[in-house]
Chain A
Amino acid sequence: MTNQEAAEKIMTQFTGSTFLCNEFRGEVTLEFDRGLIEDVCRYAKEELGFSFLVDVSSVDNIETKLEEKGRFEVVYELYSYVDYICLRLKIRVPEENPLVKSVTSLWRGADWHEREIYDMMGIKFENHPDLRRILMWEGYPYFPLRKDFPLAGKPTEIPDVAFSQAAPLEGGPFVTRPADHSYQREPRPKTFQPGDMD
Chain B
Amino acid sequence: MSNFRTVEVVSPDAARKVAAAIEEHPDLVDEKMILNMGPQHPATHGVLRLVLEIDGEIVSKCTADIGYLHRGDEKIAENMTYTQFIPYTDRLDYLAPLANNVAYACAVEKLMGYDIPERAKIIRVISCEMARISSHLLGLGAMSMDLGAMTVFIYTFNEREKIYNLSELLTGARFTTSYTRIGGLSRDLHPEFIPALKSFIGQFPPKIDEVENLLSKNRIFVDRCKDIGVITKEKAVNQGLTGVNLRGSGLDYDIRKAHPYIGYENYEFEVPIGSVGDCYDRYKCRIEEMRQSVKIIEQAIKRLDSFGGGLNSDPDQFPITVCDPKNILPKKADVLTKMEELINQFMIVTAGIDAPVGEIYFGAENPKGELGFYINSRGGGVPHRMKIRSPSFVSISFMDELLRGYMVSDVPSIIGSLDIVMGECDR
User: Cβ of B409: which chain A residues have Cβ within 8 Å of it?
Assistant: none
Pair count A-B, CB < 8 A: 134
User: Cβ of A177: which chain B residues have Cβ within 8 Å of it?
Assistant: 79, 382
| Contact-residue size bin, chain B (C-beta under 8 Å from the other chain) | 35 or more
Q: Is B381's beta carbon under 8 Å from chain A? A: yes
Q: Tell me the complex Cα distance, A51–B236, Å.
A: 11
Q: Closest residue to A111 on the B side, CB-wise?
A: B397
The answer to whether residues A57 and B387 also contact, given A175-B79, A176-B351, A185-B380 and a CB cut-off of 8 A, is: yes
The answer to whether residues A59 and B384 also contact, given A176-B352, A182-B347 and a CB cut-off of 8 A, is: yes
Q: How far apart are A85's CB and chain B's nearest CB, in angstroms?
A: 10
Q: 4 smallest A-B Cβ distances: which pairs?
A: A109-B240, A57-B387, A112-B397, A135-B67
Q: Is A40's beta carbon under 8 Å from chain B? A: no
User: Cβ of A21: which chain B residues have Cβ within 8 Å of it?
Assistant: none
| Contact bitstring B348-383, A, C-beta under 8 A = 1, else 0 | 001110000011110100000010101011111111
Q: Is A148's beta carbon under 8 Å from chain B? A: no
Interfacial residues of chain B within 6-53, with CB under 8 A of chain A in the complex: none
Q: Is B81's beta carbon under 8 Å from chain A? A: yes
Q: Is B220's beta carbon under 8 Å from chain A? A: no
User: Cβ of A77: which chain B residues have Cβ within 8 Å of it?
Assistant: 361, 372, 374, 389
Q: Tell me the complex Cα distance, A59–B372, Å.
A: 16
Across the interface, do A64 and B237 meet the contact criterion of CB distance under 8 Å?
A: no
Q: Is B198's beta carbon under 8 Å from chain A? A: no
Q: Tell me the complex Cα distance, A120–B426, Å.
A: 12
Query: Which B residues are closer than 8 A to A by beta carbons?
Result: 66-67, 70, 72, 74-76, 78-81, 84, 110-111, 113, 235, 237-241, 251, 253, 258-259, 347, 350-352, 358-361, 363, 370, 372, 374, 376-385, 387, 389, 393-394, 396-398, 401, 426
Across the interface, do B237 and A185 meet the contact criterion of CB distance under 8 Å?
A: no
The answer to whether residues A108 and B376 also contact, given A185-B381, A187-B350 and a CB cut-off of 8 A, is: no
Q: Per a CB cutoff under 8 Å, which of A59, A111, A134, A190 touches B376?
A: A59
Across the interface, do B75 and A88 meet the contact criterion of CB distance under 8 Å?
A: no
User: Cβ of B396: which chain A residues have Cβ within 8 Å of it?
Assistant: 112
Across the interface, do A185 and B351 meet the contact criterion of CB distance under 8 Å?
A: yes
Across the interface, do A64 and B397 meet the contact criterion of CB distance under 8 Å?
A: no
Q: Tell me the complex Cα distance, A111–B259, Å.
A: 27
User: Cβ of A64: which chain B residues have Cβ within 8 Å of it?
Assistant: 378, 384
Across the interface, do A178 and B380 meet the contact criterion of CB distance under 8 Å?
A: yes
User: What are 26 residue pairs bridging A and B, where the CB atoms are less than 8 Å apart in the complex?
Assistant: A24-B358, A25-B110, A27-B361, A54-B361, A55-B372, A55-B374, A58-B385, A59-B384, A75-B359, A81-B251, A81-B253, A108-B235, A108-B239, A108-B240, A109-B397, A135-B426, A137-B67, A151-B75, A176-B79, A176-B382, A178-B378, A179-B380, A185-B351, A186-B350, A187-B350, A190-B79
Q: Tell me the complex Cα distance, A75–B397, Å.
A: 20
| Contact bitstring A123-156, B, C-beta under 8 A = 1, else 0 | 0000000000011110000001101010100000
Across the interface, do A25 and B238 meet the contact criterion of CB distance under 8 Å?
A: no
| Contact-residue size bin, chain A (C-beta under 8 Å from the other chain) | 35 or more
User: Cβ of A29: which chain B residues have Cβ within 8 Å of it?
Assistant: 359
Q: Closest residue to B84 on the A side, CB-wise?
A: A176
Across the interface, do B347 and A53 meet the contact criterion of CB distance under 8 Å?
A: no
Q: Per a CB cutoff under 8 Å, which of A51, A144, A149 touches B238?
A: A51
Q: Is A14's beta carbon under 8 Å from chain B? A: no
User: Cβ of A24: which chain B residues have Cβ within 8 Å of it?
Assistant: 358-360
Interfacial residues of chain A within 177-198, with CB under 8 A of chain B in the complex: 177-180, 182, 185-187, 190
User: Cβ of A163: which chain B residues have Cβ within 8 Å of it?
Assistant: none
Q: Per a CB cutoff under 8 Å, which of B361, B382, B401 touches A108?
A: B401
Across the interface, do B382 and A52 meet the contact criterion of CB distance under 8 Å?
A: no
Across the interface, do A178 and B67 meet the contact criterion of CB distance under 8 Å?
A: no
User: Cβ of A176: which chain B residues have Cβ within 8 Å of it?
Assistant: 79-81, 84, 350-352, 381-382
Q: How far apart are B336's CB and chain A's nearest CB, in angstroms?
A: 23
Q: Tell me the complex Cα distance, A53–B253, Å.
A: 15
Q: Tell me the complex Cα distance, A180–B235, Å.
A: 45
Q: Per a CB cutoff under 8 Å, which of B75, B253, B361, B379 touches A86?
A: B361
Across the interface, do B258 and A84 meet the contact criterion of CB distance under 8 Å?
A: yes
The answer to whether residues A27 and B360 also contact, given A52-B240, A135-B426 and a CB cut-off of 8 A, is: yes
User: Cβ of B376: which chain A residues have Cβ within 8 Å of it?
Assistant: 59, 75
Q: Tell me the complex Cα distance, A52–B385, Å.
A: 23
The answer to whether residues A134 and B394 also contact, given A54-B361, A178-B380 and a CB cut-off of 8 A, is: no
Q: How far apart are B421's CB and chain A's nearest CB, in angstroms?
A: 16
User: Cβ of A179: which chain B residues have Cβ within 8 Å of it?
Assistant: 380
User: Cβ of A185: which chain B residues have Cβ within 8 Å of it?
Assistant: 350-352, 380-382
Q: Tell me the complex Cα distance, A55–B110, Å.
A: 18
Interfacial residues of chain A within 38-85, with CB under 8 A of chain B in the complex: 51-55, 57-60, 64, 75, 77, 81, 84
Q: Per a CB cutoff under 8 Å, which of A88, A111, A116, A120 touches B361?
A: A88
User: Cβ of B66: which chain A residues have Cβ within 8 Å of it?
Assistant: 134-135
The answer to whether residues A180 and B379 also contact, given A55-B389, A77-B374 and a CB cut-off of 8 A, is: yes
Q: Other than A84-B258, A107-B239, A112-B394, give 17 A-B pairs with Cβ distance below 8 A.
A: A25-B113, A29-B359, A55-B372, A57-B385, A77-B374, A88-B359, A108-B235, A109-B394, A109-B397, A109-B398, A112-B393, A112-B396, A116-B393, A135-B66, A147-B78, A176-B351, A178-B377
Q: Tell me the complex Cα distance, A84–B259, Å.
A: 8
User: Cβ of B384: which chain A residues have Cβ within 8 Å of it?
Assistant: 59, 64, 178
Q: Tell me the complex Cα distance, A37–B357, Å.
A: 25
Q: How far apart are A108's CB and chain B's nearest CB, in angstroms?
A: 5
Q: How far apart are B343's CB and chain A's nearest CB, in angstroms?
A: 11
Q: How far apart are A126's CB and chain B's nearest CB, in angstroms?
A: 20
Q: Per a CB cutoff under 8 Å, which of B84, B240, B258, B380 touches A53?
A: B240
